[in-house]
Amino acid sequence: MTLKLDSISARYGTLLAIDGFDAQAAPGRLTAVIGPNAAGKSTLLRCAAGLQTCRGSVEFGGLSVESMAHRDRARCIAWMAQRPRSDVPMTVHEMVELARPRAEQDPGRCRELMQSLELEDLRSRLVPALSVGQQQRVALARTLYQLKSHDGMLVLDEPTAPMDPRHAMLAIDHIRDAARQGATVLLSLHDIGLAAAVADDAWLLRGGRRVGSGPVAEVLVPGLLREAFGIDYEALQRSDGSSWLAPSPPSHGV
C-alpha cells in the first residue's frame, strides 16, 4: 500500500520542524529519508507513522493514518524509534513478543526472527544488560514481528546507527526483504553511501523542507547533496564496477 504525504507541517511550540512536505513511498520499495541533523527527519517519520500531530494529510492505503484506531494502525504500521526504551526489565524474548497481543502470537515467526537476527542465544538475557547494538537488534526484531501481513509499512528511525558493520548489514538484509515481500519501508539513514546502495527511493530534507524526492539515482546526486549538507560529494568506483557516494576530501588548508 502506498504512503502519501500532502502538505505536511509540524511544530514544536514556535519551531517549525516540517514545512509543507509532499512525497510518496511505494510498496515493495525502500525509501531512505536523508538530511543533516535537525533537518526534520525524525519528525517526518513520526508524522508518517501517525505518532506526531501535524497539519496536512497522511494516508496509507487510501486511509487517513490519523483517523485509524490504534489497534488497526499497529497491525499495519510498525514504528522503530532511534533510541528505543532500553530500561525495561524484560528478557529479549519477552520484549520481542511485546509487539503483538497475547492472542495473536506466532511462536514460529518470533523464533525465526530471533534466530536470523542472531538473538537466540540472548533470549533469556534482560534487555538493560545488553550492549546498545544488541538492544537495537532486539528493537528491530520486535518491529518486524509487529507486522502481520506483507503489505504493511515499516517506519524506522536510524535503525542501524549503533550496530557493528556485520549486524548493520544483517539488519539491512531483513529490512530489504520486507520490502521485497511487499511492505512499504521508510527509514532514515546518515550514511549517504549506504542509502544510495540499498534504497530504491530517497527523500532529501534541509530545514524541514524537501530538497528532492524520487529514485536515489535522481536525488542522491552531488548537486542536491551539497544543497542539503553544504559539502561536496563524489562517486567512488568500487571493485564490482558500481559506485559509492562519499564526502569529497577537504581542500588543502581547510
Measured at the CA of 64, the angle between CA 178 and CA 106, to 5 degrees, comes to 35
The model carries a pTM of: 0.93
**Span 112-135, pLDDT tens digits:** 999 999 999 999 999 999 999 999
Q: Specify if 25 maps to a domain.
A: yes
Tell me how far apart the alpha carbons of residues 29 and 198 are, in angstroms, rounded to a whole number: 10
What mean pLDDT is reported for the chain?
93
Q: Specify if 228 maps to a domain.
A: no
Q: What CATH number is given to the structural domain containing 35?
A: 3.40.50.300
Do 202 and 212 meet the contact criterion of CB atoms below 8 Å apart? yes
**Span 138-179, pLDDT tens digits:** 999 999 999 988 889 999 999 999 999 999 999 999 999 999
Strand order in the sheet with 201-206: 77-80, 153-157, 184-188, 30-34, 201-206, 209-215
Q: Specify if 195 maps to a domain.
A: yes
Q: Specify if 41 maps to a domain.
A: yes
Burial 94-105 (b: 16+ CB within 10 A, else e): ebbbebbeeeee
Q: Specify if 185 maps to a domain.
A: yes
Q: Specify if 125 maps to a domain.
A: yes
Residue labelled with grid coordinates 556485520: 166
Q: Specify if 238 maps to a domain.
A: no
Tell me the chain's radius of gyration from C-alpha atoms: 18
Q: Specify if 60 maps to a domain.
A: yes
**Span 38-79, pLDDT tens digits:** 999 999 999 999 999 999 999 999 999 989 999 899 999 999
189: containing domain: 3-215
Tell me how far apart the alpha carbons of residues 207 and 199 are, in angstroms, rounded to a whole number: 22
Domain count for the chain: 1
Q: Is the pLDDT of residue 241 over 80?
A: no
